[in-house]
Chains A and B, each alone.
Chain A
Amino acid sequence: MEPFNDFISNISPWLQGLLEGIGLPDVWARVVVLGIGGFALAFVPLIAVIFLIWAARKLIARMQDRIGPNNSGPYPGPYALFQTFADAIKMLTKEDVIPAAADRWVFNIAPIVILTIAVLIWAVIPLGKDITGSDLNIGIFYVLALGSGSMVSLLMAGWGSDNKYALLGALRAVANMISYEVPQILSVIAVVMVAGSLSMQEITKAQNVPFIFVMPVTALLFFVSSLAEAGRQPYDLMEADSEIVAGYFVEYSGMKFGQFYLSEFMNNFAISVITATLFLGGWQGPFVDSVPILGSLWLLLKSCLVFFVLLWCWGTLPRLRIDQMLNFNWKFLTPVALVNVCIVALVGKAVPSSAGPWMQKSALLGANILLALAVLGALVVAGRQARRRDVSGQQEASPA
């Protein structure tokens, strides 16, 4: 049982020994082992997304009081579990229609770039106790930097389509995404302050108490801004299935559209996993020390919980307009995020470390709750003022 516990960590030296035994030089054996590891890692989000798309369709259907994909024959499997495979085969065999005046190179490269970046994010996410692609010392910053890289492919898709609606949709989507990066990185800064490192394995290990109980406001900020980054309801403006057809990828058909769709779900799952790692404790849980593979199970459960909350928002909340989204970000989320960083910094230093970790964590929790109450109070006052202005405006308009 012992070697099986650490099965995944032991495979890599064994494979390397095997390859060196056949006579490959040292560097090439390492590259081959890393390549096999990379392929295995890249399949994780792929397989997970295939079942998550099915789960998303079933759950959204239930929230909308219908059944969703059903067992309509022997092909899609029981409960239509393999519906996504059927969708993939359909997309592979559709014709690829390119608009006549489209910019060929830019049009074709955009889906490749977006799927590459969606897969690259998974290199630093700790999937288990010692299982991670590469424990970079700039872990979470690498993820955020790649997120901003994916905006370039949006612009390429919008521009290359030679369609003024696609271009407009792409510009609005990019304006939306860059705005919501600011509260996202500010909440990550608060997490980094408490955890003391950017590396995601270190952040997971620093969470004896999951950070959501220490800094709930930060967790909420991160989750809301990541929702907007991924373009999920209620920030569905980029896609807006029922209104602008598909926004920036309206001219894509066949597998290129499939790649946009796939990368969007991969990003959603990546956000769930990252939120679970940063705020819910990642792979930590009971019995992880003795059976390391259990860490992956805990991470899977936690990220499915976060994904369920994401789907819940998708099925329940209405879509926001672009000016409402930008107002919400710049006039509410960014000031709250900045004040949150200040408060976490002050409280962390005001409570001396000699008082013990529990005192510090409860002080942080108290400060966060006070911040939330203050923000709610400010919102109530602002709402009352707005209503008074509306009422007095109506009274002026109709003097009778």
Chain B
Amino acid sequence: MLDQFTFIGVFLIVALIFGVAPIAIAFVLRPKKPNPRKAETYECGLQPHGEAWVQFKVQYYVFALVFVVFDVEAVFLLPWALAYHQLELYAVIEAIIFILILLGALLYVWRKNALKWM
């Protein structure tokens, strides 16, 4: 099994070279004329106003949390799906109970209006 990953290891190095090569070529080829006017932050042509770190809404965090829960659920379901052909009906029912509990969780979050993006 490990020699399958040997190619991945070599390909990782090849991909890194591919990632760095255009920037390296551009580093050689491009003009370098730094200028304080050019280095200002872009705000549609106006003067930049205030700090770059504003207070964000809590909705981002709630969505990320719901995502993590469903992420873990999906990773639990993957080995079951692989073994599906060798399983009996009761095993399928057990996994469907698993999915239904999490569907219930999604419905709960929906009804509590936590999925609203204010």
- A–B contact, 8 Å CB criterion (strictly below): yes
Interface residues of A, Cβ cutoff 8 Å to B: 30-31, 34-35, 37-39, 41-42, 46, 91-101, 108, 111-113, 115-117, 119-120, 123, 133-137, 141, 161-165, 167-168, 171, 175, 178-179, 181-182, 185-186, 189-190, 192-193, 196-198, 245, 250-251, 254-256, 258-259, 262, 322-323, 326-327, 330-331, 334-335, 338-339, 341-342, 345-346, 348-350
A255 B82 Cβ-Cβ under 8 A = no
Nearest chain-B residue to A142 (Cβ)? B8
A171 B63 Cβ-Cβ under 8 A = no
Contacts of B10 in A (CB 8 A): 31, 34-35, 38
Contacts of B51 in A (CB 8 A): 164
Contact for A92 among B29, B53, B77, CB less than 8 A: B29
B77 A189 Cβ-Cβ under 8 A = yes
Sample (8) of A-B pairs whose CB atoms are under 8 Å apart: A35-B10, A38-B7, A41-B11, A115-B15, A115-B22, A134-B8, A136-B5, A179-B63
Contact for A38 among B11, B85, B103, CB less than 8 A: B11
B36 A100 Cβ-Cβ under 8 A = yes
Q: How far is the CB of B102 from chain A (nearest CB, A)?
A: 7
6 nearest CB pairs, A to B: A255-B26, A134-B7, A323-B117, A116-B19, A38-B14, A119-B15
**Per-position contact with A for B1-33: 1 when CB-CB < 8 Å, else 0?**
100111110111111101110110111011111
B42 A92 Cβ-Cβ under 8 A = no
B92 A35 Cβ-Cβ under 8 A = no
Residue from B19, B30, B44, B92 having most chain A Cβ neighbours under 10 A: B19
Known interface pairs A35-B10, A181-B71, A349-B89. Does A115 touch B39 (Cβ–Cβ under 8 Å)? no
A42 B19 Cβ-Cβ under 8 A = no
B20 A112 Cβ-Cβ under 8 A = yes
A342 to B101, CA, bound (A): 12
A251 to B39, CA, bound (A): 10
Contacts of A341 in B (CB 8 A): 77, 99
Nearest chain-A residue to B12 (Cβ)? A120
Q: How far is the CB of B77 from chain A (nearest CB, A)?
A: 5
Contacts of A30 in B (CB 8 A): 6
Tell me whether chain A's interface is mostly helix, strand or loop, or mixed: helix
Within 8 A of A (CB), among B86-106: 87-89, 92, 95-96, 99-100, 102-103, 106
A250 B7 Cβ-Cβ under 8 A = no
Q: How far is the CB of A293 from chain B (nearest CB, A)?
A: 21
Contact for B67 among A91, A182, A254, A346, CB less than 8 A: A182
A171 to B25, CA, bound (A): 31
**Per-position contact with A for B66-81: 1 when CB-CB < 8 Å, else 0?**
1100110010011001
Contacts of B103 in A (CB 8 A): 335, 338-339
Q: How far is the CB of B46 from chain A (nearest CB, A)?
A: 11
Known interface pairs A175-B60, A342-B99. Does A115 touch B31 (Cβ–Cβ under 8 Å)? no
B31 A178 Cβ-Cβ under 8 A = no
Q: B52 within 8 Å of A by Cβ?
A: yes
Q: B64 within 8 Å of A by Cβ?
A: yes
Contact for B41 among A99, A120, A322, A335, CB less than 8 A: A99
A171 B30 Cβ-Cβ under 8 A = no
Contact for B52 among A162, A175, A342, CB less than 8 A: A162
Contacts of B22 in A (CB 8 A): 92, 115, 255, 258-259, 262
B53 A164 Cβ-Cβ under 8 A = yes
Known interface pairs A112-B19, A162-B52, A192-B78. Does A345 touch B71 (Cβ–Cβ under 8 Å)? no
B7 A94 Cβ-Cβ under 8 A = no
Q: How far is the CB of A309 from chain B (nearest CB, A)?
A: 26
Contacts of A349 in B (CB 8 A): 87-89, 92
Known interface pairs A189-B77, A256-B23, A346-B96. Does A196 touch B7 (Cβ–Cβ under 8 Å)? no
Given contacts A100-B39, A179-B67, 10 further A-B contacts (CB under 8 A): A99-B42, A135-B4, A165-B43, A189-B81, A196-B84, A250-B42, A259-B23, A330-B66, A338-B99, A338-B106
B7 A42 Cβ-Cβ under 8 A = no
